[in-house]
Structure 1
Amino acid sequence: MTANPAASENPTNPVTTELVVLDMAGTTVADGGLVERAFQAALPDFTTAQLDYVRATMGESKITVFRHLTDHDENRAQQANIAFEAAYARLVDEGHCAPLPGAEDALRGLRDQGRTIALTTGFARDTQDRILAALGWENLVDFTLCPADVGGRGRPHPDMVLAAALRAQVSSVAAVAVAGDTASDVRTGRNAGAGTVAGVLTGAHDTAALRAAGATHVLDSVAALPDLLAAQETP
């Protein structure tokens, strides 16, 4: 795998996207406020300022967010993270989990195009697996990654995207597309040097935030991604 010196499009020499790295909650999976509810359950006396921070950092590794919210008290942060994961798992088990409209068709469309698909998240592995099981997506994507799989560093660090690129054995990071609903998702893709970094408007952040983070494209939803990638590869 070679580095991509410039993550910009070159219409005279289109690059085939070999790997698509997709976020889960808010991008392919309907959130419906579940993340915020789990944060509120994890922290006593959850404040408006804390909620604002959670919304601003949506998409980042949850333990990283809890470290900030607990003034870097590692014991409190770890306990809160455990409580968060348990609360989110309960919500998933109660049936509060569904694919976003068009997400399953997009995943199938990407596979039909011959692309490798990886799902990434800021959740713990157990929570990620619960979501996949609830949706019946275990065999719909090639593999999944969470921060624990890459040494604990989540978004906006590039680790999960680069680990996915290595696992998929792509020819270049220019052949990687990243899509997510948060500024952290976009920064992750940019930090990894992905050729396409698409923001989607089905989750936490709006067009302005996604563009400010460096999105190469902003889409109404992930449903538009297969057509976008196909169009980019048309000479």
Structure 2
Amino acid sequence: MHYQIPTHLQAVILDWAGTVVDFGSFAPTRIFVEAFASFGIELSLAEARGPMGLGKWQHIRALCDQPQIAARFGRVPRDADVTAIYERFMPLQIARVGEHSELIPGALEAIAACRAAGLKIGSTSGYPKQVMDRVVALAAEAGYCADHVVAADEVPRGRPTPGQALANVIGLGLDDVAACVKVDDTLPGILEGRSAGMWTVGLRFSGNYLGLDYPAYQTLSHTLRAEQRERIDALFAPAQPHYLIDTLADLPPLIHLINARLALGELPSH
């Protein structure tokens, strides 16, 4: 018995907000602003977006660790402060997540193409299970059902560690992490896939880094889109994604390309 490089992909593991649903990733960011405001702490939408991709408690902790935000508390924010904000965040998020639950244009078609290529569909999210259950139900009503879902609080450690991605490998019964491609719109989500030993694809325009809704995105000129690609590619660079595309609609050609690389003996670590 000896190791054999997989010859084709077996699964694509998709993020949720900013990848499959919620173009611009507005559902979590606006609730962060509201949750902080309920404690008298002003938070801009841009600041709220900063640590996107982490689990939500960890996201709030990362925000509180930023000097300009910590200064608004008048003291160093403690874990108890983070938990208090998180406990305010959770019911707001559960109640309001449906306001930004629309499928991203082209996502269903891309997922159908992946299934036609023989791939299973896994998924991970920075949302805890309480919120994820609501997101999954709304997506199902719109026609999207992943084969496996792993929320941030269903593993001991979430992104950027590989726990959620690896839980999908187990849950989907896959043979090799190198037969998986992780797709995400955030740096922690790409690092999740990288640390799991998977192929990785970053999304430029549908998620957190552009931060526009779909109608606003459509109005961008060719020149502005090119400028934003350059800016966002630089933001993704520390995670070293294997590929960068604009939205999930651009994924199917990459599946064939990665399969060709696997057939030549290439691995994600190469």
1:30 aligns to 2:34 (yes or no)? no
For the residues of structure 2 that align with 1:61 and 1:72, how far apart are their CA atoms? 18
Amino acid at match of 1:200: L
1:188 aligns to 2:192 (yes or no)? yes
Alpha-carbon shift at residue 220 of structure 1 (Å): 1.0
For the residues of structure 2 that align with 1:216 and 1:142, how far apart are their CA atoms? 24
Question: Which residue does 1:170 correspond to in 2?
Answer: 174
Amino acid at match of 1:26: G
Residues 177 and 147 of structure 1: CA distance in aligned 2, closer, same or farther (over 3 Å): same
Task: Kindly provide the CA deviation profile for residues 12-39 of structure 1, in whole angstroms up to 9, marking residues without a partner as x.
Answer: x873111211111111112442222100
Aligned length: 222
Contact 2:36 2:42 in 1 (8 A): no
Task: Kindly provide the CA deviation profile for residues 182-212 of structure 1, in whole angstroms up to 9, marking residues without a partner as x.
Answer: 1111111111111x10001111232211233
Question: Which residue does 1:150 correspond to in 2?
Answer: 155
SS of the aligned residue for 1:99 comes to coil
Amino acid at match of 2:53: G
Question: Which residue does 1:8 correspond to in 2?
Answer: none
SS of the aligned residue for 1:144 comes to coil
Amino acid at match of 2:254: L
Task: Kindly provide the CA deviation profile for residues 133-190 of structure 1, in whole angstroms up to 9, marking residues without a partner as x.
Answer: 1222686210100122112x11111110111112223222111100100111111111
TM-score for both structures, normalised by structure 2? 0.74
- The equivalences for 1:69-218 within 5 A come to 69-70=63-64, 73-93=78-98, 95-136=99-140, 140-151=145-156, 153-194=157-198, 196-201=199-204, 202-205=206-209, 206-218=232-244
For the residues of structure 2 that align with 1:185 and 1:15, how far apart are their CA atoms? 25
For the residues of structure 2 that align with 1:169 and 1:136, how far apart are their CA atoms? 23
For the residues of structure 2 that align with 1:35 and 1:3, how far apart are their CA atoms? 42
SS of the aligned residue for 1:128 comes to helix
- The equivalences for 1:46-85 within 5 A come to 46-48=41-43, 52-70=46-64, 73-85=78-90
TM-score for both structures, normalised by structure 1? 0.84
For structure 2, the 5+ residue unaligned runs are: 65-75, 210-231, 264-270
Identical-residue share of aligned pairs (%): 27
Residues 147 and 216 of structure 1: CA distance in aligned 2, closer, same or farther (over 3 Å): same
For the residues of structure 1 that align with 2:93 and 2:3, how far apart are their CA atoms? 37
Residues 31 and 73 of structure 1: CA distance in aligned 2, closer, same or farther (over 3 Å): farther
Alpha-carbon shift at residue 112 of structure 1 (Å): 1.9
For structure 1, the 5+ residue unaligned runs are: 5-12
Alpha-carbon shift at residue 113 of structure 1 (Å): 1.6
CA RMSD in angstroms, aligned pairs only: 2.5
Question: Which residue does 1:7 correspond to in 2?
Answer: none
SS of the aligned residue for 2:202 comes to strand
- The equivalences for 1:219-230 within 5 A come to 219-230=245-256
Residues 103 and 46 of structure 1: CA distance in aligned 2, closer, same or farther (over 3 Å): farther
Residues 69 and 210 of structure 1: CA distance in aligned 2, closer, same or farther (over 3 Å): closer
Task: Kindly provide the CA deviation profile for residues 205-234 of structure 1, in whole angstroms up to 9, marking residues without a partner as x.
Answer: 322112332110001111121221123324
